[in-house]
Amino acid sequence: MAKLKDIDSMAEKKGSGLNTLWQFVKFIFVSLLAMIVQFATLNILLLLPQIKQIISQPYEFWVFASDGLEKNGLGYFIAFNIANILAQIVAFFVNKEKTFNSGANVAVTLPIYIVFTIALICFSAWLSPTLQGLFVKWGVNAQGAANISTMCCSAIQFFLYFPVDKILFHKKKEDKQEEKTAE
């Protein structure tokens, strides 16, 4: 961790552009960590008998319907979203502490982050089946369409989270400590 702090200090001394680039590189690694958490959680949840039971029950709603694709039902929707939320909570704390070295108040930033995450999940829940249906109409096979739409939604989330995190986590730990000593 000392090496990471040294690199953080060097990047900060080189200017805000290089510092932001370095934060983006760290953000990529945290996003990979979040992806691992999401995939592991999803696969564990899909093994639970309760989720298997919900999956086996047909359930059609606009979020789950996708033209020409297998309808997996409410169980998949629940499992995917629980995994996504857990991954984003992990990403929140790791990005706050390691990527942005922030002393921002969790009581203020976490609710904002949760609302933003829920909005992105709802947007992705709409966009993914919409894109899948569009790709199927264009002649892409069902599995390919599902993968492409998932990649599109993931890319959108990735590129939206970085600026939001940068704004939320703008307060450095050192600034917070200086405020305490000044009081």
Say what the pLDDT of residue 145 is: 80
| Cβ contacts of 30 within 8 Å, gap of 6 or more | 91, 94, 95, 98, 99
Q: Which of 5-14, 57-66, 127-136, 147-156 has the lowest mean pLDDT?
A: 57-66
Cα torsion 103, 101, 153, 76: sign: negative
Whether pLDDT at 59 is above 70: no
**Residue 102 contacts residue 170 (beta carbons within 8 Å):** yes
Rg (CA), the chain: 20
Rounded CA separation 14/21 (Å): 11
Nearest to 169 by CA among 88, 86, 92, 85: 92
Say what the pLDDT of residue 174 is: 66
Distances (CA, A) of 100 to 13, 22, 81, 95, 137: 15, 10, 26, 6, 43
Considering only residues 142 and 183, tell me which one the structure prediction assigns the higher pLDDT. 142
**Residue 104 contacts residue 167 (beta carbons within 8 Å):** no
pLDDT digits (tens, 9 = 90+) for 86-98: 888 899 999 999 9
Rounded CA separation 157/20 (Å): 18
Say what the pLDDT of residue 67 is: 45
pLDDT digits (tens, 9 = 90+) for 62-78: 555 544 444 556 666 77
